[in-house]
Chain A
Amino acid sequence: MRTDAPLLLPIFRSRGQGRLLARIFLHPEEPIPLAGLAREIGLDATTVLREVNRLEDAGLVVSDRIGRARVVRPDERSPFYPELSALLFKAFGPATVLARSLRGLPGVEAAYIFGSWASRYHGEAGPAPADIDLLVVGRPDRRVLARVCREAGRELGLEVNPTVVAKESWESDETPFVRSLKPAPLVALDDAHDCG
């Protein structure tokens, strides 16, 4: 299964390859079995096997046998490791970092990335995002949210700009802002993004 090149950082051969690398490189402390990798990034097992073989041949990842499973992790001895990690983090990290930052924050019912980062993530061409537009549905403490976003932005190297919308407003489509956002590209920050 071939996917288009990722437009957030169109130097990878396909979006699937970018997401696969991101999952492996953004969580070096959590080596993942190939079957789990395929499931998490939504590619078929054959494609994942082919991609991982190619990356291993190139010395970018290593895999180990644990029981019957083949588990893959980044090869930290690769000369490309630090830079590749940094690129992947910047291109694919915001959904992961923000999902982690917002997890368990009182008053947050749901959260989405919108704006240019979400557009690039979904394949719309355009300039590289200068910031991350974050929609938070609920009633979080604004000061706590401001601090969380400042820390996440520092970690990501991108400004994080949160917009808070009450759950009722989000569900009722009562404001022009909410109505304009619903059909726009959104990246939901749910559990799926906790693993990149």
Chain B
Amino acid sequence: MKLYEYQTKELFQQVGIPTPKGKVIGSATELESVKIDFPLPWVIKSQVRKGGRGKAGLIQFASTEEEARNVVQRLFNHPEKISKLLLEERLDIKKEMYLSIIIDPETASPLIMACTEGGMEIEEIAKLFPEKIIRERVDISRGLGNFQARNVMYSLGLQGKQIANGAQVLMQLYRLFRSCDADLAEINPWVITGPETVVAADAKMNIDDNALFRQKRFVKSRDQFDDDLEFEAFQAGLHYIRFDGDIGVMSAGAGLTMTILDLIHHFGGRPANFLEFGGAAYGRAAKAMDIALKNPKVKVILITTFGLIARADVIAQGIAQAITELKPKIPIVAAVRGTGEEEAFKILEGLGLEPMRYTEEAVKKAVAIAAGRAS
């Protein structure tokens, strides 16, 4: 789950990481009523989840109140559907740097990355200044050492009091990273504004979805999703991603589902979605079909499972329930195999469906139906 900038900065303020003075507003009228205790000029930043806000015109400057009112008005009417703006004091930037903590899958450790060049995406930094990226691996059982934080600050070339202050920021960032179950905590740009001060001009944090059960303060709401159906699926414990093809995919297990998408493309078809109801969700085939059918572009439903714990007989019962309740008007192709498959085949036959025994045959059939070559 991606936090908004203002949420991340609230967390920063709680642990003493310096941020610009700021105020969040939720409407243009709120600008009139709130008390803003920092002087113009302001930076007005749209709170959206995606990067590249500057280029997209979602970050604006205002040097008079009149200008601020116009900018606020314009941004709240932006097609991007912005629900919050962050107003901030405009910093006197001497230098922009980059600082982040990620989980490095290769070493299975938290990894600190820092760079004397900031203000652009890390991918860009890595391309332009690969030799300037400072990496510091953290042993998760030992935690981040003060000496490691100091090493990073010296490598960044910080001076005087900036070193202790910067190291303190990194220590607190690591504590937040751990205590919030983040998989990314990023300050970019991290800006030097004076001989002692380093300020988090922008802030980004992603929380591990798997840890949300113990991170109750973070709740995934509709605005975390690109699409209504994706949100509906999430609420039902399913994973759905919409594409623009016409074959409605229902599968169990992420690896198999990805393979089905690959096979559909291979045989010349186009998937309408990724929809996975494996693992603990295998009893929810009926709900999965409900969601798959809600995309009006879908011409055929392709169900391919090869379950282990996701028992084929339970999945077949779910399909039976879905067909009874939803009465789908489009063809269904089903290869439901794995644990309990003989029972599943009987259930499918009872529904008048041909139980397919080979995944690739099922995919080919669905592709042919979508192309109008079969029914």
A binds B: no
The interface of chain B, by Cβ under 8 A from chain A, is none
The interface of chain A, by Cβ under 8 A from chain B, is none
